[in-house]
Amino acid sequence: MFSPNTSGLLTRRTGTDKFGQPIYAAQGATVGCAVANLEPKIQQTPIRSTASASRGEADEIVVAAVILFPSTVQITELDKFSIFGSYLRCTAVAPRVGVYGGVDHYECEFEIWEA
């Protein structure tokens, strides 16, 4: 059984503007959560050989955070979340099933997002 041990501010995406950029609700809601990982994973990615004669590599942030939410929290991709001074945007939501077959909690991956 999942039980949240901290909380953060969840701001829902309400739609998109005429340029395809997300529009967010004016006010967020405080929701319970549990932080599984809040450190960025940096992976080396190769640069195309046509773009670099040295065939160097670039750093790319793969996943910035993994946070667990109770099944009562309705979170979707592109929602914003603020916790411990970090501003994040949801990139993936995966339901996790409990022992009895019901959704116990959601495991969400986030990327760094400017406020």
User: What is the SS3 string spanning 55-78?
Assistant: CCEEEEEEECEEEEEECCCCCCCC
How many domains are contained in the chain? 1
How far are the Cα atoms of 46, 62, 63, 79 from residue 56, in angstroms, in the given order?
7, 18, 22, 34
Burial of 99 (0-12, 13-18, 19+ CB in 10 A): exposed
**Which pTM does this prediction carry?**
0.78
At 105 the pLDDT is 94
Amino acid 96: pLDDT: 94
Q: Is residue 1 domain-resident? A: no
What is the structure's pLDDT at 21? 86
Residue 69 placed within a domain: yes
Is residue 56, in this structure, part of any structural domain at all? yes
What's the CATH code of the domain at 90? 2.40.10
90 within some domain: yes
Other Cβ atoms closer than 10 A to 42? 11
Amino acid at 40: P
In order along its 115 residues, the chain shows pLDDT tens digits of 788 999 999 999 998 899 988 888 888 899 999 999 888 777 777 665 555 555 566 766 667 889 999 999 999 999 999 998 889 999 999 999 988 899 999 999 998 887 5
pLDDT at position 35? 93
Going through the chain in order, the beta strands assigned E by DSSP cover 6-11, 13-16, 22-24, 29-37, 41-46, 57-63, 65-70, 80-83, 86-97, 103-112
Under DSSP, the state recorded for 20 is S
What range defines the domain where residue 66 resides?
A: 6-112
